[in-house]
Amino acid sequence: GAVVSQHPSWVICKSGTSVKIECRSLDFQATTMFWYRQFPKQSLMLMATSNEGSKATYEQGVEKDKFLINHASLTLSTLTVTSAHPEDSSFYICSAPRQGHEQYFGPGTRLTVT
């Protein structure tokens, strides 16, 4: 089946620094990808829609300057958490829908900000 990968799987950074998370569709092209945030044992909250070749669409309440999204190619979207703070610590998950199939999820990236 189709695979979506994320890198890194786990990252620790200091408060005030920025961290980049990559989401790749390994065997199909994805003009759209989605970024979710998940708190421990809680639901996934959609943060933004990443669109190849155009600006990302952010959900209400999500700071676009805080969470920078770049959909550089048909197989890669990146989420950069800028000036990270401890409250940004979370599990970030991306997904990529594949036409004619389903939406595939990445394994997630655990971000810990100290």
Partner 1 sequence: AQRVTQPEKLLSVFKGAPVELKCNYSYSGSPELFWYVQYSRQRLQLLLRHISRESIKGFTADLNKGETSFHLKKPFAQEEDSAMYYCALNAGGTSYGKLTFGQGTILTVHP
Q: Which residues of the chain form contacts with partner 1 (CB under 8 A)?
A: 32, 34, 41-46, 49, 93, 95, 97-99, 101-103, 105-108
Measured from the CB of residue 105, what is the shortest distance to partner 1 in angstroms? 4
Own/partner contacts of 7-12, CB < 8 Å, gap of 24 or more, are: 7/109, 8/109, 9/107, 9/108, 9/109, 9/110, 10/109, 10/110, 10/112, 11/109, 11/110, 11/111, 11/112, 12/112, 12/113, 12/114
Q: Using the minimum distance from each CB to partner 1, give the nearer residue, 85 or 101.
A: 101
Q: Using the minimum distance from each CB to partner 1, give the nearer residue, 84 or 94.
A: 94
Q: Is the distance from CB of 104 to CB of 25 less than 8 angstroms?
A: yes
Measured from the CB of residue 108, what is the shortest distance to partner 1 in angstroms? 7
Q: Using the minimum distance from each CB to partner 1, give the nearer residue, 8 or 107.
A: 107
Q: Using the minimum distance from each CB to partner 1, give the nearer residue, 93 or 113.
A: 93
